[in-house]
Amino acid sequence: MTDATVPPAAARAPLSPGAARRRILMRRLWRHRSFRLGAVILLVIVLMALAAPLLSNGEPTKMNLRARFAPPSADFIFGADNFGRDIFTRVLYGARISLWIGFASAMLAAAGGALVGLASAWYRRLDGVIMRIMDALLAFPAILLAIGINAALGPQVSSVIIALAAAYVPRMARIVRAAALVVRELDYVDAARVSGASAGRIIFRHILPNCLAPLIVSLTFVFAYAILAEAALSFLGIGPPPPQPSWGNIIAEGRDYSVEAWWIMLFPGLAISLAALGTNLLGDGLRDVLDPRLKIEA
């Protein structure tokens, strides 16, 4: 099964720990327009999420029956929902959960993908079995895999994270494996092997750093997908459970009132879109600078 979305990552200049090289990369990134825009958008969203208690009324679950369905106004800038809860507050606090789910599942997927990919590239005898399993998982669209896993684990934040991470591990594993297979054949890896370095040392000191560029790029895109997927899971009722707000479950709860009280679902949707947009912009920049040969997002 060829997964065409993951082009073989060709040999690339090692991401050496040299500070000078890092500074050059940073400068090139910062000059990249979409990277800059994406970074700013994400930064603003993250800061707002962190500062939620200061910016809002601080009580995302507090009901106020007199304010039921209050439209956007000076008091409720994003309006209020069917329980009179302030949507602005809920969106800010929802950001915490949604961003955390996106971040944690992307990191977990990257770590898992790196382990599986490296094992597959290094222990050639395992490769066949591992890649068959990855192929089987890759046959499923990630959202469906996440639905299936989440159905088994139950609706909690932790299971959403595990489900999304598991859903994206195969893609990451493929990317890392492809990069690692190239690096593996390079002279200095041979040299390290000949000089008696342990497998673990070679893998983590020499091979992994060279897989970082494609890994970071796809990690970014997975973060964006995970935010969207969390929202979809919540919408289906198998995401983080209410009353704690996540962007997805605010929309799910506001759906029944979408005609009369459109503001309930409008603002969290905008928040999701903006977060995903910022991440995708960031990812485009990272890809162009770190790994131009990686054509499409993971």
* CB-side neighbour CA atoms (13 Å) of 233: 37
Region from 83-91, 189-197, 199-207, 256-264 binding other proteins, contact rule CB under 8 A: 256-264
Closest distance to other proteins from the beta carbon of 179 (Å): 19
Interacting positions 147-176 with other proteins (CB under 8 A): 147-149, 151-154
- Is residue 21 part of the contact set for other proteins (CB under 8 A)? no
* Max Cα distance, the chain (Å): 76
- Is residue 228 part of the contact set for other proteins (CB under 8 A)? yes
Q: CA-CA distance, 183 to 215, in Å (whole number)?
A: 14
Kindly tell me which residue out of 3, 48, 50, 55 binds other proteins, with binding defined by CB under 8 A.
Answer: 3
Kindly tell me which residue out of 251, 261, 286, 290 binds other proteins, with binding defined by CB under 8 A.
Answer: 251
19: left (phi over 0), alpha (psi -120 to 50) or beta: alpha
- Is residue 4 part of the contact set for other proteins (CB under 8 A)? yes
Please, which residue, 153 or 186, has the CB nearer to other proteins? 153
Region from 14-22, 44-52, 195-203, 270-278 binding other proteins, contact rule CB under 8 A: 270-278
- Is residue 25 part of the contact set for other proteins (CB under 8 A)? no
Crossing angle of the two packed helices 262-290 and 247-254, in degrees rounded to 10: 150
Q: CA-CA distance, 294 to 175, in Å (whole number)?
A: 10
Q: CA-CA distance, 83 to 264, in Å (whole number)?
A: 11
To which residue do tokens 């506001």 refer?
254
Region from 9-17, 119-127, 140-148, 193-201 binding other proteins, contact rule CB under 8 A: 140-148
Please, which residue, 77 or 153, has the CB nearer to other proteins? 153
To which residue do tokens 């962007």 refer?
247
Closest distance to other proteins from the beta carbon of 236 (Å): 5
- Is residue 255 part of the contact set for other proteins (CB under 8 A)? yes
Kindly tell me which residue out of 50, 143, 157, 197 binds other proteins, with binding defined by CB under 8 A.
Answer: 143
* CB-side neighbour CA atoms (13 Å) of 23: 3
Name the site residues for other proteins (rule: CB under 8 A).
Answer: 1-5, 28, 132-133, 135-137, 139-144, 147-149, 151-154, 224, 228, 231-232, 235-238, 248, 251, 255, 258-259, 262, 265-266, 269, 272-273, 276-277, 280-281, 284, 295-297
